[in-house]
A and B are shown apart, each in its own frame.
Chain A
Amino acid sequence: MRKKEIKTVVTFHVTADAIAFEKRCKELGIEGRLIPVPRVLSAGCGMAWASPLSEEERVRAIAEAGDIETEGIWQCEA
């Protein structure tokens, strides 16, 4: 089975935000991918962005820029 590790996970209200977030991360070369929301998190949108913790600062910077709406940023096994 794939080994889980603690990651930075971003949740969203709607799919459009998740895809916009993925697009931005890819443009900036941020490592990560869209995953189904882990059950420990409660989120509106069924998909979440997961990055290694080493990318957390850059991921937070995107969320804080405010033009892409996020629901929350978490650290959890994914």
Chain B
Amino acid sequence: MIYLDNAATSRRKPQEVIDAVVFAMTSLGNAGRGTTEAALDAARTIYGARDKIAGFFGVKNPKQVVFTANSTESLNIAIHGLIKPGDHVISSVMEHNSVLRPLYEREEAGAELTLIECDGKGRLLTDDIEKNIRDNTRAIVLTHGSNLTGNVNDIEAVGRIAKAHGLLFIVDASQTAGVLPIDVEKMNIDVLCFTGHKSLLGPQGTGGMCVREGLEIEPLKRGGSGVDTYNRHHPSEMPTALEAGTLNGHGIAGLSAAIDFIEKTGIDEIREKEQNLMKRFVEGVRDIPGVKLYGDFDAEVRCPVVALNIGNADSSEISDILSMDYDIATRPGAHCAPEMHESLGTVDQGAVRFSMSYFNTGEEIDAAIRAVREISEEFSEEN
């Protein structure tokens, strides 16, 4: 199979990640639950991963790194825990439903919401952010990179706006963590939400959030913590405050090995290879008659994501042909990004998304280009 659905999850993981998970599953106990060697090994593994992630994202204190199941959980914790009725939030049409749905829930609870629009190429109208700040604006919630167009937002610039106006800045780094450098201090990010199973090359069920020191977030879950058992309330100390229940120690061991792999390989090397694969694909398909691309392909920095359509064909049909006739995995439909599809005018058709990873090859990209060309020719003959 030629797997080009890495924006959904990176299918191929480094062998070190698999080995780390297997080792963890055959050796670790439960972190923070007693002091047997098995329990301590789990606690050490998790602390080691916390420390690495802190270094990876420029977080000074590893205790401000919280483990969750994925970006969705992180975003729910951040949005639900920080946005209260009466608060105004600025977000964008580029967001995934893991941002939009928690925000819509907050809106129904009495918060106010403004979504910043994009231009025809799916680029955020960043100048509109400042214009929409109100007296009661509490936060800006923004994706670092669109999971549909691959367009990347200038997080550092938006971070400066947030800082200048005293607003919280919550960033969804689902598509960028592991491939674009992120420094929470430099970018003035209050809460960075990331997932482990995409560009970080870790197992599914891993993810987390980096929370600015001193920022208290009301927890979404309360429960076992291994500490302060006789307190009727969940402990307020970080990271335990936001980590009720047994952590995914096995997965976190894999995520830790994944970070090692990225640091050993070099994030710049990984990004360059992915960008080259993406550019090769774009150059190969952009002039095929009937092919329409969505996004800004002249941008210097973008995610290795290419969404396209062929004529007026249903994206689901194209993706199914790619899968059944060419064994190429892509993602059709709406990609959990309803507002972005509205903005691009692709609600009915959806789009076929090709997304590359470090482990794809130039030959695979060329095969995908040939497939798009053949399908496009077939459709033009039919019409």
Interface of A toward B, CB cutoff 8 Å: 13-20, 22-23, 34-36, 44-47, 69
Contacts and interface: CB of A to CB of B under 8 A. Distances in A.
B237 interface: yes
A11 to B, nearest CB: 10
Interface residues of B, number: 23
B53 to A, nearest CB: 12
A6 to B, nearest CB: 19
Interface of B: 31-35, 40, 43-44, 46-47, 50, 62-63, 225-229, 235, 237-240
Contacts, number: 66
A35 B35 contact: yes
Contact of A16 (B33, B35, B50): B50
17 contacts: A13-B235, A14-B63, A14-B239, A15-B31, A15-B240, A16-B47, A16-B62, A22-B40, A22-B44, A34-B40, A44-B235, A44-B237, A46-B35, A46-B226, A47-B34, A47-B35, A69-B63
For chain B, what secondary structure do more than half of its interface residues adopt (helix, strand, loop), or is it mixed?
A: loop
B209 to A, nearest CB: 15
Interface of A, secondary structure class, is mixed
A15 B227 contact: yes
Contacts of A45: 32, 226-228
B47 A14 contact: no
Nearest to A46: B226
A18 B42 CA distance: 13
A16 B235 CA distance: 13
A78 B338 CA distance: 60
Nearest to A37: B35
Nearest to B225: A14
